[in-house]
A and B are shown apart, each in its own frame.
Chain A
């Protein structure tokens, strides 16, 4: 029983990371119908930016602020800088293609390649040595019986839920959210209505990448070893989680992320840990076989 509770808490933490990253995938896909394959690597860049900010700018090598101040300034700074990376990517790689009206496939390939450039560029610039993230928070552990919860885990889970509520509010209740939904509904009529499409798209990238930056920061605090390929596998998995939830739907990404987290932790609890990826991917494949558009996805009708 206690092991079950412990596993549920771990699954919630993993699911939170997946959900935070999957939300970024879903936002961009919902507006542009583009799989931003570089998103996992933007998360990785976010973790590195968090490292840079908390060590070289605010931390021991820079201003040498106390820990609470590093956290208070570091989180927004990381989010802003990572959003900048995402917007830069959109501006230099995706926008020219969109202007030319290129085939969707070319944009997807460009995204995939940009992800590789980010990964290996990082590896070439900073070398393969792993970075140790500084400890910014006093670790407090609350134990209930044999179940232990650290304050970090609680913060991660709360952050995921808060992000979900915030994004849901933006997409369903604000004007810019309405514009986002409109762009995904009909890309050709929207400019005629006087809605600045490029602004909406940049805003989407800012949101998605910003929260990837937040996820990177939280991830670096939870697992304080950074390496350039950390974003690749998590990014792929988060993306598959978004697809299982039904890509283009915020609830779908959230549910899919937590579903994947629970599947993975459940597999590790029952089978040897090397089977984790195999069984997780197999279950996801089964879900996609049964419901090709994902859990919340709506089938698009094709006109002949």
Chain B
């Protein structure tokens, strides 16, 4: 029983959130904040694979989010919504309920394929040069999508709300909340499984010493490819959720500032710490909402926080430890390793 306590508590918590959303106990604003928490958790923990566990410095994470957002939005809108360019829905809108997770996953898969753009150069280069490549990829993706007139170019793309309403017509429950929670759980599960497996230890080995890892029979190129693709694929999933929660995307919402947000979350939580990523994503989302009235000053305060963090506690909140290492009594309930 003790072994499953944390899972049961977690499941109950998720159910409680969904029920609260269903019966209108929390208003739409709070719901959207909760959904953004989920999306930010996916973003920060997926970037943590590359920036934390593998010790690289990728600063173009929003590019993959952008790809995922656009791909999944285009799929759902073409299939289930009335659109000026793509015409009438191809499938009956009621089927959106079953296709939604598939569309979001498809966005993730395409984003993972775009991740190869970064992964291949990373075989030869490390550190600063790779950082440049990620930035260049971020600009390239945004610029490329701005030049695709068929999906709205720089005006953005909309119509996802119709799909969400169509799902609500089938069964009236907060669908996007459920998908976001499922996506978050899936991300955490897959990352945790990956980095605590023997196979995934190769990534930590690359972080410690690439040459030594190569000698100890870690296939470094393959590990890098897997890590980059997993990271960017999950970012694509986050992007798909983001697009459907907001109902409107435009390329400029995935610029360097968004990538910076992801980086802030990773370094705030601590590199190579999954629970740290989750914790910092939650805190960061709340912080963003709290600073919203300050408008532009928000973007002075957030970098300032990170600068001070680097000066006084560079390892972040948890820093290479998990919650169960900081509070050993939690080990009774869950083991990370």
Partner-B contacts on A (CB < 8 A): 29, 35, 93, 96-97, 102-110, 112-114, 116-117, 119-121, 123-124, 232, 236, 239-240, 243, 247, 272, 274-275, 277-278, 281-282, 284-285, 288-289, 292-293, 302, 304
Contact = CB atoms under 8 A, between A and B. Distances in A.
Contacts of A110: 306-307, 310-311
Classify chain B: how many residues form its interface, as a range.
35 or more
Given A114-B307, A289-B120, A102 B314 contact: yes
Main secondary structure of the interface of A (DSSP, over half): helix
B304 interface: yes
Contacts of A236: 135, 139, 256
B190 interface: no
B326 interface: no
Nearest 5 CB-CB pairs, A to B? A113-B303, A120-B299, A278-B143, A116-B303, A277-B143
A240 B128 contact: no
B83 interface: no
B303 A114 contact: yes
Nearest to B311: A96
B121 A288 contact: yes
Contacts of A275: 143, 147
B263 interface: yes
Given A112-B59, A124-B300, A278-B140, A288 B133 contact: yes
Interface in B127-154: 127-129, 131-133, 135-137, 139-140, 143-144, 146-147
Nearest to B120: A289
A114 B300 CA distance: 9
Given A120-B296, A123-B296, A232-B256, A277 B303 contact: no
A243 B314 contact: no
A289 B121 CA distance: 6
B260 interface: yes
Contacts of B121: 285, 288-289, 292
A96 B125 CA distance: 29
Nearest to A247: B128
